Structures are given as structure tokens and as C-alpha cells.
Amino acid sequence: MATPAIPRAAIEDLRALGKPLEDVLEWVGDLGLFTWRVAKAMVSRPFEGAEFLRQLDAIGAKSLPLAALAGAATGVVLSLQTRDSLMRFGAKSLLPAVIVFSLVKETGPIITGLIVSGRVGAGIGAELGSMRVTEQIDAMEASAVDPHKYLVATRVVACIVAMPLLTIAADFFGILMGWVASTLAEPVSLRLFLSNGFHGVTFNDLLPPTLKTSIFGLIIGVVSCFQGMRTRGGTEGVGRSATSSVVLSSLFIIVADVLLVQLILEFF
């Protein structure tokens, strides 16, 4: 008995349904290959010291005011909101500790990660995307220079190094402005605020949450460079790369944060 033929329209519909999944799998595969290539470029000579320092300045030093401002604003808001809540429960004396723990363990790292992914992710996506569509990356390859090493590895390592430093800055300004907001409501010396705030804080409360932002840096660097390097379609494509760099790196930072918090709680 002959097998009934599957209608052509049904096959086309199935193909259309499978296309987005195929695209996602292709994207993930390409990202994996790209990451492997960049990892190899990072550890092979010659090291691009001068370009790395230039990127560290562009990614780290130039993000410092934004990270500091975000940290400061978070500190003020935490102080104002938490003070009100703690007063209801008669635990106002815990305010410094709540601000310090909240900033150091979670708010500082995640705020810094998202702020930097916005500023740096868009910048890298647009810059590399623009270089791709104007054939500057082709020109680099044609002159026997590996763009994965010169352009990508330097940016990724700069993101990895800069993130913990920016997080420390955000934490510092957050705690400082938390104290300012607190002391405006009810005067308290900085020494006493810090003494109460850091009472009971251990090395494990400080170090893992700060160092986890290196993973955020890795995500921002790799995703933004990947989106920039695969740009197609002229200036419109550059815009798409800049946007997708920010959206994807922010999304992956949030997901990674959930996993990293679980790991930190498990091991530290």
C-alpha cells in the first residue's frame, strides 16, 4: 500500500516553524566558536598591551563617572526606602548594615553590570559593526592581523578587568551617599556608620560578589564583540548590532547573576 504523500504546503509550514529554532541554534553555535577563537587569541602571543590599555581606558576609566553615579543614587534610594521600612519594625539601627550588605552583595554588582552593558555594550557593538560594514575588519585581516586578537580579545579582557574595579567604585559611592542620606535624616558620624555597616562583614561577603562581575564583563565583551563582528546590512545593521549587544548582554547578565548567586551561596 502506498504511503500517503505529505502535502507540500504542510512541509513548507513545518520548515517555517523550524526556522526560528534553526536560527537560534546557529547563533549559539557561532557564539561558541567565536568564544573559543577569542579564548585562543587571548593566550597566544604577541599580547596587545597598548591596545588593551586603550580599551581599559575607554571601557573602564570612561565608565567610572556613570558607575559612581549609579552607585551613589542606589545608596541614597536604599537609605531612604530602607529607613522607612526598618523604622516600622523598630530596627532602625540596622540601617548601615542593610545598606552595606545590600550594596556589596548584590545591588552594586548588578547595577554596575547593567549600566556598563548599556554604555560599553552599545559602544562595542556599534564600533565593531561600523568597522565591519566599512571593510576595516577585512582590511585588518588582509594585512595579516587577526581581528579576534587585536579588536576582540583586548576588549573582552578590558571588560573582565574593569568590571570588578567599577563595582568597587559603585559600592564605595553607594555606601558614602547612603551615609549622606542617612545623616541628613538623623545625624550620625561616618565612622559610626561604617563601623555598624561593616560589623559582621567577612571577606567572603565582599570578594565573591565583586569578582563575579568579571563574569559580567566576559558576557558584555563576548556578546557585544560577537554582535558587532557579525554585522551585515550597512548603517541599519550597525544600529541593530548596537541594540542587540545591549539587550542580549543585559539578559545574559541577569541570568548569570541568578546562577552565580546560587554558586556563591553554595561555596562561600
Partner 1 sequence: MPPPTNAVPPIAVAGLRKSFGRQTVLDGITFELASGQVTCVLGRSGTGKSVLLKLLIGLETPDAGSIRLAGHDISSGSLRQLNDARKKVGFLFQQAALYDSMTIAENVAFPIRRHTTLSDAERNDRVHQLLESVGMDRDLDKMPSEISGGMRKRVGLARALALEPAILMFDEPTAGLDPITAAEIATLIVELRDRRHITSIVVTHDLHSARSIADRLIVLDRGKALFDGTFENLNRNKDPFIGTFLKDAA
Min. distance of Cβ 123 from partner 1 in angstroms?
12
Nearer to partner 1, 106 or 146 (CB): 146
Find the binding residues for partner 1 in span 105-164 (CB under 8 A): 130-131, 134-136, 138-146
3 makes contact with partner 1 (CB under 8 A) = no
Q: Number of residues interacting with partner 1: please give it, by CB under 8 A.
A: 14
Task: Tell me the C-alpha to C-alpha distance, in Å, between residue 173 and each of 11, 44, 100, 179, 202.
Answer: 59, 38, 11, 10, 20
Min. distance of Cβ 135 from partner 1 in angstroms?
4
Retrieve residue 129's grid coordinates: 559593526
Nearer to partner 1, 121 or 147 (CB): 147
Task: Tell me the C-alpha to C-alpha distance, in Å, between residue 215 and each of 10, 104, 138.
Answer: 44, 16, 30
Retrieve residue 195's grid coordinates: 563601623
Min. distance of Cβ 40 from partner 1 in angstroms?
11
Nearer to partner 1, 152 or 170 (CB): 152
Min. distance of Cβ 97 from partner 1 in angstroms?
46
Min. distance of Cβ 182 from partner 1 in angstroms?
45
Judge whether 135 and 36 are in contact, CB under 8 Å: no
Nearer to partner 1, 127 or 171 (CB): 127
Nearer to partner 1, 40 or 199 (CB): 40
Q: Which amino acid is at 78?
A: L
Question: What one-character-per-residue DSSP string does 97-157 give?
Answer: HHHHHHIIIIIHHHHHHHHHIIIIIHHHHHHHHHHHHTTHHHHHHHTT--HIIIIIIHHHH
> Max alpha carbon distance in the chain (Å)?
91
Min. distance of Cβ 134 from partner 1 in angstroms?
6
Nearer to partner 1, 136 or 214 (CB): 136
Query: How many angstroms separate the CA atoms of 241 and 213, rounded?
Result: 23
Judge whether 63 and 166 are in contact, CB under 8 Å: yes
Catalog residues that contact partner 1 under the rule CB under 8 A. Answer: 130-131, 134-136, 138-146
